[in-house]
């Protein structure tokens, strides 16, 4: 009876192993591109998925063909593997429900105000009167309106006593004014204090690479007045495209790297890092990863900071190429601890900066929107006043 069972298992394992091997051979990019793609092209992420699928088939085929004579050993491997997978699945389900209970806020917007962009990943869309409401249960965290024109958040100065003296401000949601009305942003506050036209190029989620791209791709901006880049620590994570950034909003954000000590544009995070992108996507679906807020890379190192600096340096050179000096400033927003590593590099490159990393504690309630974390109107007012004093703009 045992011999009959061994023979049956032998034939079964041979069939399964050969079938998996055949599937692996047929699941190649060339054949799938012909059969399934209208233009014979496969997206880089899908190429990675195909290769992973092929590898799994080959491994399973090898397992069945190698262990066809030892059903007991194969059974133990299958049982052990299934037990581990079942345990992981149970833990995932538990953390999924824990995550569902912890996410108790929602953001409601009346219309979309961003569009995809091939160079920046995304940009602001010209729309007026976008209503944004953030709620936690029945409590309103903020209820505001965004107005965007010429790809910028509108600033609302009371009067322009020096209309020809333009200030270009660049940054992320801190500058954009998430959770605030148009007249409460840093740009509007600075315009009200100085009487100058202040352009708000801030966009939610932007990093230093997009500041670099805006300046490089808008030569009419260069040397048109002061350029003030509001830097926060989060910009470095966006420069390197961490797993959190990639899975949340940054898949198509610009990707730069250092090659032979020079800055090199490499496309975007999704298309030009397909293997890492696929791993990030898989891990990003895990409730365990989300609950513990695991991120990769888990820390910022010197190479990440140097890449960020090189983006600043090229942006600075592009902005001041018209001949004027000291017109491009990096402003370290309160809490920007990376200023300690970046300032020596800026000084060596003769790039102007204002270090406000210790200007106030942004964790204090008066300096951020309660329940949100973005800067409050009061924080913007304090920062604008400090900028006006230090640059003698009044």
* Angle of CA points 110, 111, 117, to nearest 5°: 155
The answer, yes or no, to whether residue 286 has pLDDT greater than 70, is yes
E strand or H helix that includes residue 353 = strand 352-355
Residue 120 pLDDT: 96
**Mean pLDDT of the region 79-94:** 75
The answer, yes or no, to whether residue 6 has pLDDT greater than 70, is no
Please write the tens of the pLDDT for every residue from 240-267. Answer: 999 999 999 999 999 999 988 889 999 9
Please give the Cα distance from 132 to 110 (Å, whole number): 7
The answer, yes or no, to whether residue 69 has pLDDT greater than 60, is no
Residue 220 pLDDT: 74
Q: Count Cα neighbours of 149 within 13 Å in the Cβ-side half-sphere.
A: 8
Residue 84 pLDDT: 77
Burial of 124 (0-12, 13-18, 19+ CB in 10 A): buried
- Among the ranges given (51-55, 125-129, 309-313), the one the predictor scored with the smallest mean pLDDT: 51-55
- Among the ranges given (79-93, 223-237, 320-334), the one the predictor scored with the smallest mean pLDDT: 79-93
Chain Cα centroid distance, residue 208: 11
The three-state secondary structure class of 355 is strand
Residue 34 pLDDT: 58
**Mean pLDDT of the region 318-331:** 81
Residue 32 pLDDT: 64
Q: Where are the alpha helices (DSSP H) in 37-129?
A: 44-66, 71-102
Q: Measuring CA to CA, how many Å separate 128 from each of 131, 145, 150, 153, 245?
A: 9, 9, 11, 10, 28
The answer, yes or no, to whether residue 148 has pLDDT greater than 90, is yes
153 close to 200: Cβ distance less than 8 angstroms? yes
**Mean pLDDT of the region 36-57:** 69
Q: Residue 124: which of 155, 156, 146 has the closest Cα?
A: 146
Please write the tens of the pLDDT for every residue from 19-31. Answer: 777 777 777 666 6
Residue 58 pLDDT: 75
The answer, yes or no, to whether residue 378 has pLDDT greater than 70, is yes
Residue 74 pLDDT: 61
Please give the Cα distance from 346 to 317 (Å, whole number): 12
Please give the Cα distance from 313 to 47 (Å, whole number): 36
Residue 7 pLDDT: 66
Which residues 6+ apart lie within 8 Å of 14 measured at CB? 64, 65, 68
Count other Cβ atoms within 10 Å, centred on residue 157: 20
**Mean pLDDT of the region 102-115:** 88
- Among the ranges given (71-75, 76-80, 246-250, 342-346), the one the predictor scored with the smallest mean pLDDT: 71-75
Please give the Cα distance from 68 to 203 (Å, whole number): 59
- Pairing type for strands 114-117 and 121-124 reads antiparallel
- Among the ranges given (87-101, 189-203, 287-301, 328-342), the one the predictor scored with the smallest mean pLDDT: 87-101
Q: Which residue has the tokens 């600033």?
A: 155
Domains (ranges, CATH) in the chain? 2-101 (no CATH), 153-390 (3.40.50.1110)
Please give the Cα distance from 235 to 237 (Å, whole number): 5
| Letter string b/e over residues 55-81, b meaning 16 or more CB atoms within 10 A of that residue's CB | eebeebbebbeebbeebeebeeeeeee
pLDDT category at 86 given cuts 50, 70, 90 is confident
**CA dihedral sign, ordered 339, 342, 343, 344:** positive
Q: What is the mean pLDDT of the chain?
A: 86
**Mean pLDDT of the region 130-154:** 94
């Amino acid at each position: 009876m045992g011999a009959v069972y061994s023979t049956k298992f032998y034939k079964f394992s041979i069939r399964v192993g050969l079938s998996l091997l055949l599937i692996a051979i047929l699941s190649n990019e060339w054949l799938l591109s012909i059969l399934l793609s209208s233009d014979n092209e496969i997206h880089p992420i899908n190429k990675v998925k195909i290769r992973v699928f092929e590898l799994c088939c080959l491994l399973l085929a090898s397992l069945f063909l190698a262990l066809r004579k030892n059903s007991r050993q194969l059974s133990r491997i299958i049982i052990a593997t299934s037990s581990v997978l079942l345990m992981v699945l149970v833990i995932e389900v538990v953390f999924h429900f824990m995550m569902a209970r912890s996410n108790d806020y929602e953001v409601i917007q009346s219309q979309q105000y961003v569009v995809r962009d091939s160079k920046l990943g995304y940009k602001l869309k010209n729309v007026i009167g976008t209503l944004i409401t953030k709620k936690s249960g029945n409590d309103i965290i903020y209820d505001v309106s965004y107005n965007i024109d010429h790809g910028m958040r509108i600033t609302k100065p009371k009067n322009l006593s020096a209309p020809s003296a333009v200030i270009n401000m660049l940054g992320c949601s801190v500058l954009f004014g998430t959770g605030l009305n148009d007249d409460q942003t840093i740009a509007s506050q600075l315009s009200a204090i100085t009487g100058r036209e202040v352009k708000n190029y801030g966009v939610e989620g932007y990093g230093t690479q997009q500041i670099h791209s805006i300046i490089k791709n808008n030569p009419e901006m260069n040397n048109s007045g002061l350029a003030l880049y509001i830097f926060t620590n989060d910009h470095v994570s966006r420069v390197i495209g961490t797993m959190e950034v990639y899975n949340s909003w940054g898949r198509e954000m610009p990707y730069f790297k250092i090659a032979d000590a020079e800055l090199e544009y490499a496309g975007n995070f999704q298309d030009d890092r397909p293997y890492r992108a696929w791993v990030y996507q898989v891990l990003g679906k895990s409730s365990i990863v989300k609950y513990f807020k695991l991120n990769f890379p888990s820390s910022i190192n010197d190479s990440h900071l140097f890449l960020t600096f090189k983006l600043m340096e090229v942006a600075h050179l592009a902005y001041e190429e018209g001949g004027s000096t000291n017109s491009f400033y990096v402003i370290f927003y309160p809490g920007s601890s990376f200023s300690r590593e970046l300032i020596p590099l800026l000084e060596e490159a003769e790039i102007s900066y204002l270090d406000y990393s210790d200007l106030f504690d942004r964790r204090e309630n008066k300096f951020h929107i309660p329940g949100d974390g973005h800067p409050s109107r009061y924080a913007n007012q304090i920062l604008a006043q400090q900028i006006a004093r230090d640059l003698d703009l009044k």
